[in-house]
Amino acid sequence: MRKKVLMPLFLILMLLAIPAYAQCPYEGRTVTLKAPAVSVTSTGELVGVPTDFIITVAPGSGHVYVETWPLTQVDMQASARLAAEVAGRVLGVDMSKYDVFIQVKADSPIIGGPSAGGTMTVGIIAAIMGWDIRKDVMMTGMINPDGSIGPVGGILEKASAAHQAGAKIFLIPEGQRIQVVTESKSRQIGPITQITTTQRKVDVVKYAQERWGLKVIEVKDIYDAVYYFTGHKLERPKPRTNVIINTSFLESEAKKDYKETEDYYNEIKRKLAESDVGYSTYSYLKAALDDASRTLKMAEDSLNQEKYYTAMSLDFQARIIIRHVDWYIDVYEGKDIDDIFSEVKDEIKSVENYVSNLTIKGVTMLQTVAASETRIEEAKEYLKEAEASYYNQDYWNAVGNAAYAYERAKTAELWAKLGEKFAGKTVISRDAIKKAARDQLDNAKLIVMYITSMFGEQNLKDLVDLLNKGEEYYEDGKYSAALFSAMEARIRGEVILDTIGIENVSVLKDKLSMMKEDAKNAIGLAQEGGTLPLLSIAYYEFAESYEAKGDLQDIITAMVFYQYAKETALVFQEWKVKVGNTSEVISSPIVTTTTTTSSTTTSTTTTTTTQLPSTSICGPGILLLLPLLALIRRR
C-alpha cells in the first residue's frame, strides 16, 4: 500500500521541482566583478555606488537569469541578455547551449542597467573561458550589438565609486574623457536670491589621477576591455584587404534620375512663365524654383565627383520643390486638391503592394526592403499632414506635404528595385527578421530609457517618437522597417550621449574619425562575407558629404550616418575569433571542441559540442524533496 502511495507522490514532487531546477546552474564557472553605478539621494543628488556582479555561466539552454538587490530598473534584464549575446558573438560560441546567472548587489537602489553592459559582457566571456579577473580594474560603459563600448552618463560619479571600491584602473568609453559639469551658485541680495549657472569642462583622466591616483583609460570595444580585465587578447575582426567604398552601383540610376529631374525643372519653369498666377504668387514660386535650380547644380557637382547617392538625395530635394510648384499652379488654376491627394494615395498603395509581395533574399535585399518600408510609412505620414493642412485651409503646406509624400513613395520603389537587382540566393525568413527587429527594439528601448532617466523624456521627444514608430512598424508586421527604425533610435541616442555639452569642433572631429574608420571596417567585413551592403555604402557616402561641410551640427549629422553605415553593415553578420591566419570557433574549457581536417582540402571544420557535467539541485527544488526523503526513510 505504501508503495502505491509513494510512487505518485514521488512523481508529483519531481514535477514540482522542475521549474526550480530549471533555474539552477549546472556546475559552471563563476566570476565576480565590481562596477560603478549611479544612485539618487533623497535630495536628488547623483552619487556613485560600487556594485558587485557575480556571474555564473554553465551548460544549459540559452537562458539569462538576473537577480538584483536592491531592485533595479527593468532595463537590467535587457542589458544582461544583450551582454550574453555579444559574448557569444565575440567568442564564436553558441549561447543557446549555456545559461547565464547574474547577481547584482549594491548598497542602495541604482539607476539603469545599460552602463554595466560592458562589465557583464567581460564577466560572461571570462566565465566561459575560465580566465581570472583583475580585482583592481573597474569599468563603465554600455555594450552595443557590434561589441563597441557605448557612452554613458555620470562618469565623474562613477570614477568616485571606483576609487571607493579600491580600483586602480577605471575604464570608460572612448571619447568620454572630457565631461561637461553644470554648477549653480546662489547669492542673497536683500530679499532676492540670485542663481548663477555655469558650465565647465573636466578632464576625467587628469582629475581622477590628481585626486585619487586612479588611472582612467578610454576603451573602444569589448576586445580592449577584456584585455585590461584578464590580460588575454582577443583579436577584433578586421577586413583582410584595403576597403574601397564607392556608390558606383547607383551610377546608372543616378544619371537617369538627374536627367529626369532636370527635364521636370525645365518643364515647370515654362509652366510657371505661361501661368495666370498673380505677381506675388509668381515671385514666390519663382524663388522656389531658383532654390531647386541651386540644388540641382549641387547634384550635378556630386555626379561629377562620382558621389551618386548624394546626387540622388539632392535630386529628391529638388524634385519635392518642383512638384510643389507644379501642383500649386494646378490648384491655383482650379484643380481640385482632392485629385492630387488621390494621385498620391494611388502611388503609395501601388508601391506598398509591390514591396509587400517581395521575398527577401540576402542581407543586401533586406537593407533595401527596409529602406523601402520606412519610406512608404513616411509617405503616409506626410499625406496625413497634407490632409490636415487642407482641413485648416493651409493650401500651401497641403500641396507641399503631398508633393513630399509622392516623391518619398517614388524613392521607396527605387530602393525595392535595387533590392531585386542585387538579391542573393538565401531567403531570410520573416521569423528571423521579426526576431532581429524585436532584439533591436529592446536594445533601443534600453538606451532611450537610460537617457530619459537622466535628462527627462520631455527633452528627448523626437527620440522617444522614433522608438515608438519602430514599435508601430513591428505591430503592423513591417519587421524590416521596425529593425532599422530601432537601430536608428539607438544610434541617435548614443550620439546624444556621446556629444552632449561638447562644442569643441576638434574634439568632435576626433570622435568622427573613429566612427568613420569603424564604419569602413564594418562595410569591408560585410563585403568579405559575401554581402554588398548597399544601404551602408550609401550612408557612408552621405556622411562624407556632411563631414566635408565641417560645421558643428554637420559633424554630428555625419556621426549619425557613419554609425548607420556601420550598424546596417553588421546586420545578420556573424563574428568569429581569429586564431593565427584562420578564422575558427574558439574553444573554451567548458566545451569540448572536435576538429577534423580533410587530407584532400585545406579547409578545417570545427564542431563544438557542450560537455554536460554532473548535475545538482539547488534552491526550492531541494526543499520539495525533503518530505519525500523523510517518507522514504520511514519506509
- Which residues does the annotation mark as catalytic? 115, 158
Q: How many residues does the chain have?
A: 635
Query: The sheet that has 169-173: what strands, in order across it?
Result: 137-139, 169-173, 215-219
- Determine which helix (DSSP H) or strand (DSSP E) holds 370, and give its type and residue range: helix 362-391
Cell numbers for 285, please give them: 514660386
Q: Can you tell me the distance from the alpha carbon of 173 to that of 220, in angstroms, rounded to the nearest whole number? A: 6
Cell numbers for 579, please give them: 586564431
190-215: b (≥16 Cβ within 10 Å) or e? eeeeeeeeeeeeeebbebbeeebebe
Task: Return the closest-CA partner of residue 171 out of 145, 141, 147, 148.
Answer: 141
Task: Return the closest-CA partner of residue 21 out of 634, 622, 629, 627.
Answer: 622
3-class DSSP string for 585-629: CCCCCCEEEEEEECCCCCCEEEEEEECCCCCCCCCHHHHHHHHHH
Where are the alpha helices (H) located in 146-278, listed in sequence order?
155-164, 204-212, 222-230, 251-274
Task: Return the closest-CA partner of residue 247 out of 296, 292, 294, 313.
Answer: 313
**Cα-based distances in Å from 518 to 545, 559, 567, 568, 583:** 17, 11, 10, 12, 20
Cβ count within 10 A of residue 75: 22
Q: DSSP state, 78?
A: H
Residues contacting 26, CB < 8 A, separation 6+: 58, 59, 60, 99, 612, 613, 615, 616
CB 517 within 8 A of CB 543: no
Q: Can you tell me the distance from the alpha carbon of 556 to that of 484, in angstroms, rounded to the nearest whole number? A: 20
The rounded Cα 581 to chain-centroid distance in angstroms is 31
